[in-house]
Amino acid sequence: MLLLLLGIIVLHVTVLVLLFVSTIVSQWLVNGGQTADLWQNCSSGAVFQCLTSSTNEWLQSVQAMMILSIIFSVL
């Protein structure tokens, strides 16, 4: 029983770490001079330019769910 409890605790800590990393990490997609992540799209050329990610409803819901999941997991 103690081994099962330890396994569950390790699983939850692992999920929490992965949640923080996936929210904070930049550059999910890297393609040549362009990078994209959950928050912004950047392109490097003559001028390095970053724009916010698109305003699609699904992207905004993903951003909100990532933030809420971190808040609830800390609580």
Where exactly are the structural domains of the chain? 30-54
Q: What is the pLDDT of residues 14-64, one digit of tens each?
A: 888 887 777 776 566 667 777 777 677 777 777 777 777 666 677 677 777
What token pair was written down for 52? 């916010």
Length of the chain: 75
Name the pTM for this structure.
Answer: 0.48
What per-residue confidence (pLDDT) applies to 53?
66
What is the spatial order of strands in the sheet that 34-36 belongs to?
29-31, 34-36, 40-43, 49-52
